């Protein structure tokens, strides 16, 4: 519309054409400002909008000052047509730059709200946003409303892909914009290989979410289990639960960067573990199939001792340590919560 208006204004001597051009020029200005402000808001976010609009208005002021000066020089040397051609060239350049700006926002992973570090990671669609605030401040209890918001997203994932977490080698490269792993890396026999596979299936610019236990011994259960076992048999040796290279913050960051991930943001939180009673906790510990718990249990069985011997002692120690007045159990577990970008 602006290009058409400028072209009409380049035709001198016709009042109707000039009037039409001015009307189109005014309409195009309203459209440009409305769409332009929308693009700026979505690109830079409300937090940075004031700074951005300041630069925009500064550019407008400079242009309003420079345009008559430059136009006067061109008019004195080339006449009305030269000024019109210069204006058309400026409008074309403006159109091209706007198209490039929109393409940079929508054209591929890693570009949406790219530099707004206050944007939620799950909203950045593979961009390089990062959530470097405390996760605790952002957390909310699950409810029917919050779960309902997630349901449409869950339905987008096919059952094959949703269940393919143990079959990463079968997935093609660059398959997912968001890849998540919850507290598996530090317990796996080959954590580096798992991270390499997650990197492979993540799209360029995609986001990785990772949970890693921060205690290599996982003292929440290991401390109490070791205490119970040693009371019955001093020969018991405490089992190291986590991988030596994937528990400390600098180790986790280095492991991700070594694989190729960038923009690694790590925070350490103290998570709360609560159980209805010891029976619920025991079901997790003895029957849950957790590899860390199984290592502790195997060390006890290696002494040719039975679980029936240690269970009552373990129950007493757990209830003494974590027991609450209402009969529940409550303890704390340190964990690293990590985001990174491919």
- For the chain, how many structural domains are there in total? 2
Based on the fold, state whether residues 96 and 193 are members of the same structural domain: no
Give me the sheet containing 202-213, strands edge to edge.
176-182, 202-213, 329-341, 262-275
Higher pLDDT, 42 or 259: 259
Nearest CA among 289, 282, 290 for reference residue 228: 282
Based on the fold, state whether residues 27 and 66 are members of the same structural domain: yes
Based on the fold, state whether residues 43 and 173 are members of the same structural domain: no
Whole domain around residue 193: which residue ranges?
A: 131-341
How many angstroms separate the Cα of 233 from the Cα of each of 68, 164, 263, 297, 316? Answer: 93, 42, 48, 14, 17
**Token reading at 238:** 């405490």
Q: Are the C-beta atoms of 192 and 115 separated by less than 8 Å? A: no
113 assigned to some structural domain:
no
Q: Are the C-beta atoms of 256 and 195 separated by less than 8 Å? A: yes
Contacts (Cβ under 8 Å, ≥6 apart) of 108? 205
Which phi-psi region, left, alpha or beta, contains residue 183 (left: φ > 0; alpha: ψ -120 to 50)? left
116 assigned to some structural domain:
no
C-alpha to C-alpha distance for 126 and 110, rounded to whole angstroms = 5
Based on the fold, state whether residues 84 and 213 are members of the same structural domain: no
**Token reading at 2:** 């602006």
**Token reading at 66:** 């420079």
Residue 291 clears pLDDT 50, i.e. is over it: yes
150 assigned to some structural domain:
yes
C-alpha to C-alpha distance for 338 and 25, rounded to whole angstroms = 51
Q: Which pLDDT value is given to residue 10? A: 66
C-alpha to C-alpha distance for 280 and 328, rounded to whole angstroms = 10
Q: Which pLDDT value is given to residue 215? A: 83
Lowest-pLDDT range, 175-189, 251-265, 296-310? 175-189
125 assigned to some structural domain:
no
C-alpha to C-alpha distance for 269 and 267, rounded to whole angstroms = 6
**Residues written for the chain:** 342
Based on the fold, state whether residues 140 and 39 are members of the same structural domain: no
Based on the fold, state whether residues 270 and 331 are members of the same structural domain: yes
Q: Are strands 176-182 and 262-275 parallel, antiparallel or unpaired?
A: unpaired
Question: In three state form, how does the secondary structure of 219-246 look?
Answer: HHHHHHHHHHHHHHCCCCCCCCCCCCCC
Which tens digit of pLDDT belongs to each residue from 46-88?
667 788 888 888 888 888 888 788 878 877 887 777 777 777 7
Based on the fold, state whether residues 40 and 146 are members of the same structural domain: no
Lowest-pLDDT range, 27-31, 79-83, 110-114? 110-114
Residue 214 maps to which CATH number?
A: 3.40.50
- pTM here? 0.49
Based on the fold, state whether residues 76 and 170 are members of the same structural domain: no
Residue 327 clears pLDDT 90, i.e. is over it: yes
From the number of C-beta atoms within 10 Å of its C-beta (0-12, 13-18, 19+), residue 231 rates as middle
198 assigned to some structural domain:
yes
Lowest-pLDDT range, 113-122, 298-307, 329-338? 113-122
DSSP code per residue over 266-328:
EEEEEEEEEESSHHHHHHHHHHS--HHHHHHHHHHHTTT--HHHHHHHHHHHHHHHHB-TTS-
Average pLDDT, the chain: 78
Q: Which pLDDT value is given to residue 320? A: 96
In the block, which residue shows the tokens 């209402």? 326
């Amino acid at each position: 519309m602006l290009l058409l208006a400028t072209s009409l204004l380049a035709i001198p001597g016709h009042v109707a054409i000039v009037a039409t051009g001015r009307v189109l020029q005014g309409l195009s200005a309203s459209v440009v400002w409305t769409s332009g402000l929308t693009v700026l808001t979505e690109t830079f976010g409300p937090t940075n909008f004031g700074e951005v609009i300041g630069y925009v208005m500064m550019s407008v002021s400079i242009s309003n000052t420079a345009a008559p000066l430059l136009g006067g020089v061109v008019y004195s040397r080339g006449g009305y047509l030269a000024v019109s051609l210069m204006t058309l060239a400026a409008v074309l350049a403006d159109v091209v730059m706007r198209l490039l700006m929109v393409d940079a926002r929508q054209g591929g992973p890693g570009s949406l709200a790219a530099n707004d570090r206050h944007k939620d990671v799950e909203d950045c669609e593979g961009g390089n946003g990062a959530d470097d605030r405390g996760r605790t401040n952002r957390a909310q209890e699950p409810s029917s409303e919050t779960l309902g918001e997630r349901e449409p997203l869950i339905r987008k994932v096919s059952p094959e892909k949703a269940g393919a977490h143990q079959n990463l080698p079968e997935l093609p490269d660059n398959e997912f914009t968001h890849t998540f792993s919850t507290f598996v890396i530090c317990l796996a026999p080959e954590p580096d290989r798992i991270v390499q596979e997650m990197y492979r299936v993540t799209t360029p610019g995609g986001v990785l979410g990772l949970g890693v236990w921060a205690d290599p011994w996982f003292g929440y259960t290991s401390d109490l289990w070791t205490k119970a076992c040693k009371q019955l048999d001093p020969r018991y040796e405490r089992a190291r639960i986590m991988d030596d290279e994937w528990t400390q913050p600098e180790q986790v960051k280095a492991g991700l960067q070594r694989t190729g991930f960038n923009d690694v943001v790590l925070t350490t939180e103290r998570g709360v573990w609560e159980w209805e009673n010891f029976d619920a906790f025991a079901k997790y510990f003895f029957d849950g199939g957790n590899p860390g718990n199984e290592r502790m249990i195997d060390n006890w069985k290696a002494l040719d001792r039975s679980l029936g011997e240690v269970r009552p002692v373990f129950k007493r120690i757990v209830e003494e340590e974590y027991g609450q007045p209402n009969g529940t159990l409550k303890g704390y577990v340190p964990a690293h919560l990590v985001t990174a970008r491919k």
